[in-house]
């Protein structure tokens, strides 16, 4: 249950082609995250899988069955919307029970499943409230509860955490991951937050303008990005890019090096620069060091509290095995 494959799927709205031909395999029980910048077609792709939009061409198969023309209700997928889309005039209990009621399950079985879902999601005390009387995080859990009771083949989440504050987001992130471990069901999760992608995913799908740029595990994408876009998108803070003579020295059009892979020294090193703004986070310190051959100042990470002052002259040395080289197409040179 929960194996989804897309073959040559395209989607256009009128003349606008949002998804060019796209192939994707999602395996059973996988936690797949779609990431990409705003407007790249993540939601559209999710809605195509859900059946809320019709594909313009191509095929979608769920568990080996062609589901291209199957209506959303029959695909056996459950979706959690960004706005939660709870039914405002129903109590939490009725909201969670709604899919069961639609499936004409008998009352006793409905109650049992609702209680069970409420217990898993810590909602037992709120079952008789309306969505309007809940906090954002609680609403989120009700939306998830409504999805769980259906025992779907796969869960679809569309930026479910983007309306929550930072602390709650970290919390819910863990809860969703935990839920995935418990249920062992396929989950497809859309986000534009690469931290969410890195922490939760078994498999990340990086999208740009409807194209899949790379598919892989979080660490694969971090270690071996296939192109400049993925290299810049995955990892926080962003990878530094240098061009010109510095890059030419490595036989590349552009070279990339992550902030955590630069060694700092006061006396000697490959690149010379002057310390600009520094950000002290306690555990880490980030320095911004303007150097020639890079449009933006290089970001350098030093662990702990490092005592470098603004205006001080320093030397930076990239750790060779973590250096990424890109050709003039932006593709990685290996």
Ligand X SMILES: Nc1ncnc2c1ncn2[C@@H]1O[C@H](COP(=O)(O)OP(=O)(O)OP(=O)(O)O)[C@@H](O)[C@H]1O
Q: Closest distance between ligand X and the C-beta of residue 44, in Å?
A: 3
Q: Which of 8, 57, 65, 83 binds other proteins (CB under 8 A)?
A: 83
Measure the CA–CA gap between 315 and 271, rounded to whole angstroms. 6
Q: Token pair for residue 61?
A: 């198969």
DSSP 3-state assignment of 16?
Answer: strand
Q: Which helix (H) or strand (E) holds 310?
A: none
Asked if residue 44 binds Mg ion (CB under 5 A), the reply is no
Q: Closest distance between ligand X and the C-beta of residue 173, in Å?
A: 17
Angle among Cα 84, 85, 87 to the nearest 5 degrees reads 125
Interacting partner of 40 out of ligand X, other proteins, Mg ion, none (Cβ under 5 to 8 A depending on kind): ligand X
Q: 26 vs 262, which CB is nearer to other proteins?
A: 26
Q: Which of 28, 61, 98, 208 binds other proteins (CB under 8 A)?
A: 98
Asked if residue 191 binds Mg ion (CB under 5 A), the reply is no
CB 266 within 8 A of CB 274: no
Q: Which of 2, 41, 137, 318 binds ligand X (CB under 6 A)?
A: 41
Interacting partner of 18 out of other proteins, ligand X, Mg ion, none (Cβ under 5 to 8 A depending on kind): ligand X
Asked if residue 81 binds other proteins (CB under 8 A), the reply is yes
Q: Closest distance between ligand X and the C-beta of residue 195, in Å?
A: 15
Site mask, other proteins, residues 203-242, x = CB under 8 A?
A: ----------------------------------------
Q: 43 vs 214, which CB is nearer to Mg ion?
A: 43
- Cross-strand partners of 60: 6
CB 279 within 8 A of CB 286: yes
Phi, then psi, of 32 in degrees rounded to 5: -105, 135
Q: Which of 42, 75, 93, 288 binds ligand X (CB under 6 A)?
A: 42
Q: Which of 2, 43, 275, 324 binds Mg ion (CB under 5 A)?
A: 43
- Edge-to-edge strands, sheet with 284-289: 278-280, 284-289, 298-303
Q: How many residues bind ligand X (CB under 6 A)?
A: 12
The structure tokens 């479910």 sit at 160
SS3 content of the chain, % helix, strand, coil (to 5): 30, 30, 40
Compute CA distances 210 → 154, 162, 218, 293, 322, whole Å. Answer: 22, 21, 20, 31, 29
CB 128 within 8 A of CB 91: yes
Q: 89 vs 310, which CB is nearer to other proteins?
A: 89
Binding site for other proteins (CB under 8 A): 50-52, 71-73, 77-79, 81-83, 85-90, 98-99, 102-103, 146, 150
């Amino acid at each position: 249950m929960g194996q989804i494959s897309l073959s040559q799927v395209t989607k256009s709205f009128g003349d606008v082609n949002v998804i060019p031909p796209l192939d994707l395999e999602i395996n059973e029980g996988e936690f797949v995250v779609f990431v990409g910048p705003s407007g790249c077609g993540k939601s559209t792709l999710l809605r195509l899988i859900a059946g809320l939009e019709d594909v313009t061409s191509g095929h979608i198969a769920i568990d080996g069955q062609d589901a291209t023309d199957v209506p959303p209700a029959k695909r056996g997928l459950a979706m959690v919307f960004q706005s939660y889309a709870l039914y405002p005039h129903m109590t939490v209990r009725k909201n969670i029970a709604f899919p069961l009621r639609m499936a004409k399950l008998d009352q006793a079985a409905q109650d049992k499943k609702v209680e069970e879902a409420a217990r898993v999601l810590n909602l037992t005390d709120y079952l008789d409230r309306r969505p309007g009387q809940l906090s954002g995080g609680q609403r989120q859990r009700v939306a998830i509860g409504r999805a769980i009771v259906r025992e779907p083949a796969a869960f679809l989440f569309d930026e479910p955490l983007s309306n929550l504050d930072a602390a709650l987001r970290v919390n819910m992130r863990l809860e969703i991951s935990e839920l995935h471990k418990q249920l062992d069901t396929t989950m497809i999760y859309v986000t534009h937050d690469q931290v969410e992608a890195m922490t939760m995913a078994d498999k990340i799908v990086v999208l740009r303008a409807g194209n899949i740029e790379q598919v892989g595990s979080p660490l694969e994408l971090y270690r071996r990005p296939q192109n400049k876009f993925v290299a810049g998108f995955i990892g926080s803070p962003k990878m530094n890019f240098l061009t010109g003579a510095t890059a030419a020295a490595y036989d590349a059009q552009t070279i990339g090096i992550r902030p955590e892979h630069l060694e700092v020294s006061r006396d000697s090193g490959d690149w010379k620069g002057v310390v600009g703004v520094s950000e002290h986070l306690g555990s880490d310190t980030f320095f911004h060091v303007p150097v020639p051959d890079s449009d933006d100042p290089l970001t350098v990470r030093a662990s702990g509290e490092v005592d470098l002052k603004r205006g001080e002259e320093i030397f930076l040395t990239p750790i060779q095995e973590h250096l990424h080289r890109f050709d003039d197409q932006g593709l990685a040179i290996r």
